[in-house]
Amino acid sequence: MRADVVVVTWHGRDVLASCLEHLARQTEEHRVIVVDNASADGTAELMRTRFPELTFRELPRNVGFGAAVNAGAALGDGDAIVLVNNDVDADPDFLAQLLAPLREQSRAGMVAGMTLMPGREAVDAFGIQLDAGLSAYNRLRHERSDGGADPGLLAGPSGGAAAYRRVAFDAVGGFDETLIAYGEDVDLALRLRAAGWEAAAAPAARGVHLGGATIGVDSPQQRRLAGFARGFLLRRWGVLRSRGALHALLVELLVVGWGLARHRTLVPLRSRLAGWRAAGRGSRRLPAGAVDATVSIGDAVRRLRTAR
């Protein structure tokens, strides 16, 4: 199975260099495709001088994560499309472990790898878990990396450490480019499930994630983009007409209320309305098996307070 590893970057020159150095040590043969979202920090010079052997696409403007991944995927022809955040340092066997489920499970259309926090003692994310209101949580977030905790139901991989079967990725149209950042991996996972593909996990596919190095944790831009994604997903997947409507409304009221009380801003509300409008009319049916009904309102609040 041939793999194209797509790394999207934006103003991440220093972390990108480390990421690419770690990818060069992989035990699995692969092709690296770097897509730069119009950085102004010397990324293009770095690629030309230190990594001239890699495929490099320099975009004229920042088109967002999903659109950049689609552009990178279009440059390759591998059987698998692997996504690695520009601030992830992958272990040498990361790629081999991540591809194994695609080789062994014919209906696996996507695979979740595991990212670790610096120091490697705690998990950053091990794919995505969805509650009844379609809020997304990083599985095993803050849990010990040596195992023992229940990871929860896997809805799909996080875009920071993921593998997709190319035929599945192409069949559903890749990432929806309406979503600039946040939520695009959730939407893709749901569309793949709706098309009959399954999600698999690769716990031994590991890398260290610096976390929040591109946009910034809880920055105004992050709140705006995350809010837009929430509004988009709520409408596209008909959440407010589902059994999870009350759960979703309670969580959204808490998030918007926190933005108003803590940051004195209505950005979370306005961005959700913008995302709702962008999703357009009509909704899709949530595929079976994607939502983890065991995540209660109390669990949701706790995980939101600890950065999911």
SS3 string, the chain, reads: CCEEEEEEECCCHHHHHHHHHHHCCCCCCCEEEEEECCCCCCHHHHHHHHCCCCEEEECCCCCCHHHHHHHHHHCCCCCEEEEECCCEEECCCHHHHHHHHHHHCCCEEEEEEEEECCCCCEEEECCEEECCCCCEEECCCCCECCCCCCCCCCCECCCCEEEEEHHHHHHCCCCCCCCCCCCHHHHHHHHHHHCCCEEEEEEEEEEEECCCCCCCCCCHHHHHHHHHHHHHHHHHCCHHHCCCHHHHHHHHHHHHHHHHHHHCCCHHHHHHHHHHHHHCCCCCCCCCCCECCCCCHHHHHHHHHCCC
CATH-assigned architecture of domain 3-209: Alpha-Beta Complex (3.90)
In this prediction, residue 212 has a pLDDT band, given cuts at 50, 70 and 90, of very low
Of 182, 226, 203, nearest to 113 (Cα)?
A: 203
pLDDT higher than threshold 50 for residue 214: no
Average pLDDT for 98-123: 97
Among the residue ranges 63-72, 140-149, 215-224, 237-246, the one predicted with the least confidence is: 215-224
Could you state, in order of their start, the residue ranges of all structural domains in the chain? 3-209, 220-305
Among the residue ranges 142-156, 169-183, 215-229, 264-278, the one predicted with the least confidence is: 215-229
pLDDT of residue 94: 98
- In the chain, the amino acid numbered 285 is R
pLDDT of residue 260: 81
Higher pLDDT, 305 or 291: 291
Average pLDDT for 10-37: 97
Distance CA 217, CA 295 (A): 24
pTM (predicted TM-score): 0.94
Distance CA 21, CA 1 (A): 22
Average pLDDT for 125-139: 96
Residue 37 CB: number of other CB atoms within 10 A? 23
pLDDT of residue 217: 54
In this prediction, residue 218 has a pLDDT band, given cuts at 50, 70 and 90, of low
pLDDT of residue 183: 96
pLDDT of residue 273: 96
Of 161, 156, 234, nearest to 188 (Cα)?
A: 156
H, E, C per residue of 66-97: HHHHHHHHHCCCCCEEEEECCCEEECCCHHHH
Average pLDDT for 23-31: 97
Among the residue ranges 36-40, 166-170, 210-214, 227-231, the one predicted with the least confidence is: 210-214
> Which residues have a Cβ under 8 Å from the Cβ of 75 and sit 6 or more positions away?
4, 33, 55, 57
Long-range contacts of 71-74 (CB under 8 A, 24+ apart): 71/35, 72/4, 72/6, 72/7, 72/8, 72/33, 72/34, 72/35, 73/4, 73/6, 73/33, 73/166, 73/169, 73/174
pLDDT higher than threshold 60 for residue 161: yes
Q: Is 198 left (phi over 0), alpha (psi -120 to 50) or beta?
A: beta
pLDDT of residue 308: 61
Average pLDDT for 16-20: 97
Q: What digits encode the pLDDT tens for the residues 233-291?
A: 999 999 999 999 999 999 999 888 877 887 788 888 999 999 999 999 989 999 999 99
pLDDT of residue 307: 62
Residue 15 phi, psi (nearest 5): -70, -30
Are residues 98 and 82 in contact, defined by beta-carbon separation less than 8 angstroms? Answer: yes
Residue 289 CB: number of other CB atoms within 10 A? 12
Q: Which tokens in the block code for residue 96?
A: 């081999």
| Residue given tokens 């698999």 in the structure block | 200
pLDDT of residue 80: 98
